Structure 1
Amino acid sequence: MRQGPAAQAVTATGVLAAPPGRDVKLGPLVPGRLARLQVSEGDVVRAGQVLGEVETGPVSDEYLQAEATAQEARAATQAAESKRARSEVLLEHGVAAREEVEQARAAEVAARAAEQRARAALDLARRKVGYSEFKAPFAGVVTAVFIRQGEVVDGTSQPVVQVAEIDPLELRAFVTPAQAARIRSGMRATLSVEGLPDAVSHEATGEVLRVSPSINAQNGNVLVRCRFPNPSAELRIGSLGRARIITGEESGAVTVPSTALLPLEDGGLGVAEIEAGKVHLLPVTVLSEEEGQAVVTGPLKGGESVIVEGGYSLPEGTEVEVVR
Structure 2
Amino acid sequence: MKFPSLVLLPALALAAGCSRHGPEPAAAAALPPARVSLAAVAAIDAPVLTEVTGTVRPAQRAQLAAQVMGTIADLPVALGQRVAAGDRLLKISAAEIDARVAQARAQANVAQRDLARERDLLAKGASTADLVRSLEDRAAGANAMLREAETMLGYTELRAPFAGTVVRKFVNAGDLAAPGHPLLELEGTGDLQIETGIPDSLAGSVKVGDDLLVQAEAGASFPARVAELSSAADSFARTVTAKLAIAADAPVRSGQFVRVHVPSDRVRVLLVPAEAVSAAGQLERVFVAANGRAELRLVKTGGTHDGRTEILAGLAAGESVVVRAPAGLREGQPLEVSR
TM-score, with normalisation over the residues of structure 2? 0.58
Question: For the Cα contact (< 8 Å) 1:187–1:245, is it kept in 2?
Answer: no
1:209 to 215, 218, 227: 227
Distance 1:225 1:53, change over 3 A: same
Question: For the Cα contact (< 8 Å) 1:10–1:288, is it kept in 2?
Answer: no
Aligned residues: 248
- Whether 1:228 aligns to 2:246 is yes
Structure with greater strand share of residues? 2
Aligned to 1:108: 132
The 5 A counterparts of 1:17-56 are 18=57, 22-55=60-93
Q: What is the CA distance between 1:250 and its match in structure 2?
A: 8.8
Distance 1:288 1:29, change over 3 A: same
- Whether 1:153 aligns to 2:177 is yes
Question: For the Cα contact (< 8 Å) 1:187–1:247, is it kept in 2?
Answer: no
Aligned to 1:13: 52
- Supply the AA of the counterpart residue of 1:253: L
Question: For the Cα contact (< 8 Å) 2:107–2:142, is it kept in 1?
Answer: yes
- Whether 1:65 aligns to 2:103 is yes
- Partner Cα separation in structure 2 for residue 121 and residue 172 of structure 1: 47
The 5 A counterparts of 1:252-291 are 253-254=270-271
- Supply the AA of the counterpart residue of 2:225: E
Question: For the Cα contact (< 8 Å) 1:189–1:206, is it kept in 2?
Answer: yes
Deviations 1:189-220 (A, max 9, x none): 343333xxxxx455444223345455544444
- Partner Cα separation in structure 2 for residue 47 and residue 110 of structure 1: 44
Structure with bigger RCO (C-alpha 8 Å, 6+ apart):
2
- Whether 1:84 aligns to 2:122 is yes
Identical-residue share of aligned pairs (%) = 19
Q: What is the CA distance between 1:113 and its match in structure 2?
A: 2.1
Aligned to 2:144: 120
- Partner Cα separation in structure 2 for residue 72 and residue 121 of structure 1: 13
2:260 to 225, 243, 260: 243
- Partner Cα separation in structure 1 for residue 236 and residue 310 of structure 2: 29
Match of 1:301, SS? coil
2:112 to 46, 56, 74: 74
Aligned to 1:301: 317
Q: What is the CA distance between 1:54 and its match in structure 2?
A: 1.2
- Partner Cα separation in structure 2 for residue 219 and residue 54 of structure 1: 40
Aligned to 1:274: none
- Supply the AA of the counterpart residue of 1:301: A
Match of 1:160, SS? strand
Deviations 1:77-102 (A, max 9, x none): 122223334346xxxxxxxxxxxx6x
Match of 2:182, SS? coil
Aligned to 2:18: none
TM-score, with normalisation over the residues of structure 1? 0.60
Which residues of structure 1 form unaligned runs of 5+? 89-100, 195-199, 256-285, 305-324
- Partner Cα separation in structure 1 for residue 271 and residue 181 of structure 2: 58
Which residues of structure 2 form unaligned runs of 5+? 3-39, 273-301, 321-339
Distance 1:4 1:51, change over 3 A: farther
- Partner Cα separation in structure 2 for residue 288 and residue 185 of structure 1: 26
- Partner Cα separation in structure 1 for residue 173 and residue 251 of structure 2: 27
Q: What is the CA distance between 1:112 and its match in structure 2?
A: 1.9
